[in-house]
Amino acid sequence: MDMLYEPSIHLQQVSFSANDKTILKSITGSFPKGKITTLVGPSGAGKTTLLKLCNGLLSPTDGQILIDNQPISTYEPTALRRHVGIALQAAPMVKGTVFENLALPRSLQGKKLTKEEAIQYLQDVGLDQSFLQRSTNGLSGGQRQKVSIARTLINQSSILLLDEITSALDRQSVQDIETLIATINKKYNVTMIWITHNLQQALTIGHFTWVMMDGELIETGKSSLLKAPVNPRVAEFVQGVNA
């Protein structure tokens, strides 16, 4: 990764194991501040685990993670998770309405979300205000993902971790979300780490990319590396996805 960029997150020989299974093997690398880095690689490469480590839902079994040059362990967990927001892949919802879900990040801090704010966040992700009082049980996969993205934005985190947030969306919605993420990234200088299986998306939206396989970081660099990969494993992966 280009050392000209100040890192928002830096991983120093980070490993993670669970139930005697090694999921991440000695990962070292940085996510540049204010940039969008995509994480690509086959399923089971350890990408989601990496995001959970950065949000503090998991802790490394070895190595160190620095968030804005501070060891992650020095952050108070709730403050860390507001600073480093995450949109989880399954877009889980709490039982209740869309509004209750959007208000959740605030209510956890004893604060309120106004109806007007909620409508604005919904519009940002391409949903109209009629969704506000709808039960989350009746939402489609794509609508859940949109609500999940809107909810993640409410904490106004400096770093956003996005786990396959457009996998259940139609082409138009994918474009809308890509535009929204690019706008937030530019307007508020938010650092983004985005897991995607869509290499075209990684090329168009990502400034940088990490290619992960079997718990290892195979290659990092500008997203354009996906166009003409030098590393044979990356080339094979890219070929496989594009086939």
Partner 1 sequence: MTFTTLSLTLIFVLIPLLLSKTLKLGLEKDTIIATIRSIIQLLAVGYILKFVFDAQSYLYIFLMVALMIVAATLNARKKGKGIQGITWKIALTLIVIEAVTQGVLLGFHIVPATAQYIIPISGMLIGNSMVLSILFLNRFIAEITNHHDEIELILSLGGTPKQAIHRQLMNAVKASMIPTIESQKTIGLVQLPGMMSGQIIGGADPIQAVQFQLLIIFALLTTATLSSIMIGFLSYPALFNERMQILEMK
Interface residue list for partner 1 (CB under 8 A): 18-19, 55-59, 73, 77-79, 81-82, 85-86, 88, 90, 92-95, 104-105, 108-109, 151-152, 155
Could you tell me if 39 and 193 are in contact, meaning their C-beta atoms sit under 8 angstroms apart?
yes
Smallest distance, partner 1 to C-beta of residue 200, A: 28
Smallest distance, partner 1 to C-beta of residue 171, A: 27
Smallest distance, partner 1 to C-beta of residue 75, A: 10
Smallest distance, partner 1 to C-beta of residue 153, A: 11
In the complex with partner 1, which residue's Cβ is closer, 49 or 223? Answer: 49
Q: Name residue 87's beta-bridge partners.
A: 162
In the complex with partner 1, which residue's Cβ is closer, 56 or 126? Answer: 56
What residues contact 40, with CB distance under 8 A and at least 6 apart?
A: 195, 196, 197, 199, 202, 209, 210, 211, 212, 226, 237
Smallest distance, partner 1 to C-beta of residue 62, A: 16
Smallest distance, partner 1 to C-beta of residue 199, A: 27
Provide the 3-class DSSP secondary structure of residue 46: coil
In the complex with partner 1, which residue's Cβ is closer, 28 or 73? Answer: 73
In the complex with partner 1, which residue's Cβ is closer, 86 or 181? Answer: 86
In the complex with partner 1, which residue's Cβ is closer, 10 or 83? Answer: 83
Q: What are the respective helix, strand and coil percentages of the chain, to the nearest 5?
A: 40, 25, 30
Q: Could you count the other beta carbons within 10 Å of the beta carbon of residue 207? A: 16
The overall longest dimension of the chain from CA atoms, in Å, is 52
Q: DSSP for 79-93? A: HHHHHEEEE-TT---
In this structure, what are the phi and psi dihedrals at residue 156, rounded to the nearest 5 degrees? 45, 50
Smallest distance, partner 1 to C-beta of residue 226, A: 29
Could you tell me if 164 and 90 are in contact, meaning their C-beta atoms sit under 8 angstroms apart?
no
In the complex with partner 1, which residue's Cβ is closer, 49 or 209? Answer: 49
In the complex with partner 1, which residue's Cβ is closer, 28 or 109? Answer: 109
Beta strands at 84-87 and 159-163: parallel, antiparallel or unpaired: parallel
